[in-house]
Amino acid sequence: MADFDGLSAALSDRKKNHLYRQRCELQSAQGAVVQVDNQELINFCSNDYLGLANHPEIISAFKNATDEFGVGSGSSHLVCGHSQYHHQLEQALAEYTGRNRAVIFSTGYMANLGVINALLGKSDFIFEDKLNHASLLDAGLLSGARFQRFLHNDIDDLERKLAKAEGGRKLIVVDSVFSMDGDIAPLVELSQLATRYDAMLMADDAHGFGVLGESGAGSAEHLQLGQQQLPIIMGTLGKAVGSFGAFVAGSEALIETLIQFSRPYIYTTAIPPAVAAASLASIKIIAQDGQRRLHLQQLIKHFKEQAKCLKLPLMASTTAIQPLLVGDSEKALAISKILKEKGFWVVAIRPPTVPMNTARLRITLTAAHSMKQVDALLHALADAIAGIVVEVKA
Ligand SMILES: *Cc1c(COP(=O)(O)O)cnc(C)c1O
């Protein structure tokens, strides 16, 4: 059993370094208040930014589609699993994002693998922001393309790297809203650079889609980037949309290339048709109901102002992701534990999800929260952080 001894050593190492992960058991639906491990908590760590994961109209769209189409899709899209709900969802997503066409993937992770590997091979180049999501980094490695990571949001560093790349296709990829930092990528400048160096540009809009832009269509709408300027958008349906799955939107040629050549698209079972129907219902609500986005913006503004007054270690984010930088993993865990005792669920995000010595409390605000709940969190945070500092000094 030599192999398993090796595994135990890695596991105890992880524990020793305060990097061990533990899953909590959720005993209720997603929402501002949830039941976890037999305790009621105000939830400040979900990506359900618009509070739609448990919305009655979306639930009934799901139920109705299940009555009609059953549960399983039966097959991959290219065999016999591509239902009318999948198709309608693709058309709605293309229209909503202002792109020629869209295609659904089962998850965002697979969409990222799928796009990058369909577009790039060994003789090509990929340029990724250092803080890109793990799925984008994995996709770049898997593609075998020459891999260049540039400093976070650093246009000059990227330009130096682009200038040196010769021969082969070039693809620049970024999170449009960085998942653990909450800041927005400089997509306008990236787009200009992409044009200048004849590179393709892709944005992972997992945390922008549904939230950013006048009608919630995401980062491209927020920054007014058309298909020409931002040719590849990947969006997910399990965050602000409150459902499950992902999509890629862009030109006819891009989408047809994915359908023909993207292995994570081709060789997997289509998501259940009812999940597509639920996403479709959700997108209709998102596009029409600006109230949720407005309320969320008010919460973000209030949180930032008050956190500043309380001298909390805010990061440079203007989005629903409002992390507080702690640094030390053990300390971040301790603060998260105190918050849980006070009735707030805020997970400590630690390496390797974030760089060494940048453990943080990843607070996410959603349209389901009330101003009162945000105020209560702010006071609990101030107390918990002060408490930890005292403990360390003592
Ligand atoms: C969540 C996330 C993904 C993965 O999407 P899933 O649908 O959960 O697989 C990809 N990119 C970013 C930036 C994410 O935050």
- Which residue, chain included where needed, has tokens 């965050």? 239
DSSP designation for 79: I
Same domain, 152 and 238: yes
**Cα 374 to Cα 47, 96, 189, distances in angstroms:** 16, 31, 34
Ligand 1 pocket test, candidate residues 48, 110, 133, most atoms within 8 A of CB: 133
What's the pTM value of the predicted model, to 2 decimals? Answer: 0.96
Mean pLDDT of the 102-127 span: 98
One-letter amino acid of 193: L
Domain CATH code at residue 257:
3.40.640.10
Judge if 79 and 38 occupy the same domain: no
Q: Which two tokens stand for residue 321?
A: 């992701």
Catalytic residue among 179, 262, 282, 329: 179
Residue type, 218: G
User: What is the number of the ligand 1 atom nearest to the C-alpha of 207?
Assistant: 15
Name the residue among 252, 165, 164, 171 with its Cα closest to residue 204: 171
User: CA separation (Å) from 301 to 225, 308, 320?
Assistant: 25, 11, 10
pLDDT at 34 over 70: yes
What atom of ligand 1 comes closest to residue 110's alpha carbon? 9
pLDDT at 365: 98
Separation of alpha carbons 319 and 239, rounded Å: 14
Ligand 1 centroid – CA 151 distance (Å): 21
CA distance 363 to 354: 15
As a whole number of angstroms, the distance between CA 82 and CA 204 comes to 24
Strands 125-129 and 146-150: parallel
Looking at residue 391, its pLDDT comes to 56
| Total domains in the fold of the chain | 2
Q: How far apart are the first and last CA of the chain?
A: 45
For Cα atoms 101, 201, 116, give the angle at the middle one, nearest 5 degrees: 75
Instruction: Kindly report the average pLDDT of the chain as a whole number.
Output: 96
Q: Which of 45, 178, 179 to mutate to test the pocket of ligand 1 (most atoms within 8 A of CB)?
A: 179
Cis amide prior to 56 (ω within 30 degrees): no
Whether 179 is catalytic: yes
180 and 36 in a single domain? The answer is: no
Domain annotation covers residue 315: yes
Q: Please give the distance, rounded to the nearest whole angstrom, from the Cα atom of residue 368 to the centre of ligand 1.
A: 21
Residue 387's pLDDT is 80
Of 82, 86, 170, 207, the catalytic one is 207
**At 155, which helix (H) or strand (E)?**
helix 155-164
Asked whether residue 386 carries a pLDDT value surpassing 90, the answer given is no
Sign of CA dihedral 53, 57, 58, 60: positive
Nearest to 110 by CA among 262, 239, 243: 262
Of the chain, the percentage scoring pLDDT greater than 70 comes to 98
Which among 365, 362, 376 is positioned nearest to 332, based on CA atoms?
362
**Tell me: the pLDDT tens digits for 289-336?**
999 999 999 999 999 999 999 999 999 999 999 999 999 999 999 999
On whether residue 232 sits in a domain, the answer given is: yes
Give a yes or no: residue 2 inside a domain.
Answer: no
Coil/strand/helix, residue 122? coil
Q: Are residues 68 and 207 in the same domain?
A: yes
Nearest to 223 by CA among 214, 233, 210, 232: 214
Alpha-carbon distance of 144 to 161, in angstroms, equals 18
Centre of ligand 1 to C-alpha 377, Å, is: 26
Specify the pLDDT at position 392.
52
Beta partners for 360?
A: 325, 349
Q: Which domain holds residue 190?
A: 56-288
Q: What is the pLDDT of residue 4?
A: 77
pLDDT tens per residue across span 135-181: 999 999 999 999 999 999 999 999 999 999 999 999 999 999 999 99
* pLDDT tens digits along 331-351: 999 999 999 999 999 999 999
Reported as a pLDDT band with limits 50, 70 and 90, residue 394 is very low
Residues 218 and 366 reside in one and the same domain: no
- pLDDT of 3 reads 66
Instruction: Tell which of 259, 288, 317 closes a domain.
Output: 288
What does the pLDDT look like over 235-254, one tens digit per residue?
A: 999 999 999 999 999 999 99
340 is catalytic: no
Give the pLDDT of residue 393: 47
**CATH code for the domain of 35:** 3.90.1150.10
215 vs 286: CA distance, rounded Å? 8
For the residues 346-359, what does the mean pLDDT come to? 95
One-letter amino acid for residue 8 of the chain: S
Atom of ligand 1 nearest to the CA of 109: 9
Retrieve residue 246's tokens: 């992902």
Tell me if residue 207 is catalytic. Answer: yes
Task: Enter the tokens of residue 176.
Answer: 């449009």
Do 222 and 89 belong to one domain?
yes
Give Cβ neighbours of residue 236 (< 8 Å, ≥ 6 apart).
Answer: 107, 108, 111, 205, 206, 209, 245, 246
**Amino acid identity at 214:** E
Domain boundary among the residues 238, 253, 288 is at 288
Same domain assignment for residues 231 and 297 = no
Query: What's the rounded Cα separation, in Å, for the pair 110 and 87?
Result: 19
Distance CA 143, CA 118 (A): 8
Q: Which atom of ligand 1 is nearest to the CA of 239?
A: 1
Query: In the predicted model, is pLDDT for residue 5 greater than 80?
Result: no
